[in-house]
Amino acid sequence: MKKIISLLAVFISLGASAQMTPVGLWHTIDDETKQPKGEIRITENNGVLSGIVGRALKEDPKAKTVCDLCTDDRKDQKIIGMEIIRNLTREGKDTDYTWAGKGTILDPNNGKVYEVKMVPIDGGKRLQVRGYLGIFYRTQFWTRVE
């Protein structure tokens, strides 16, 4: 009986820590309406995270479809399917769930690339996404798609 309880405790703790990562499907939130705006899928490869724009969640006839203001290899690429998060790695100890490590995030609306820091919060149900340009930053909170 003790072994079963121990195994259950291990599986429960593994499940909880597995959610304390940015890996997964996220809804971005519109700054003005506070409603879900788009989907971003974050994946991990050898400890490095990247994120791809999945789809728009609301119709907007004025929404850009290509990144015409991008200045790197993403110039004039379609935004849907575009990699907007690159080179994000975990910082600190095993108990620190901060991801930054020279990672970047692209805002396809203005073509700017920002240093990024991501921290899962609320048990991994939300993701604090902070983009930096020098000493200035902007923070968004994304929600995990269950």
What is the extent of the structural domain holding 109? 2-144
Count of structural domains, the chain: 1
pLDDT score recorded for residue 63:
86
**Residue 11 has what pLDDT?**
38
The pLDDT score that the predictor gives to residue 95 is: 63
Residue-level pLDDT at 9: 40
Q: In the prediction, which pLDDT does 30 show?
A: 86
Low-confidence ranges of the chain (pLDDT < 70): 1-18, 93-96
Q: Are 115 and 106 in contact (CB under 8 A)?
A: no
Long-range contact pairs involving 113-119 (C-beta distance under 8 Å, separation at least 24): 113/72, 114/138, 116/85, 116/88, 118/22, 118/49, 118/88
What pLDDT, in 10s, does the model give residues 17-57?
Answer: 447 899 999 999 988 888 999 999 999 999 999 999 999 99
Burial class of 136 by CB neighbour count within 10 A (0 to 12, 13 to 18, 19+): exposed
The pTM of this model reads 0.83
Task: Look at residue 94 in the predicted model and tell me its pLDDT.
Answer: 63
CATH number (domain holding residue 134): 2.40.128.520
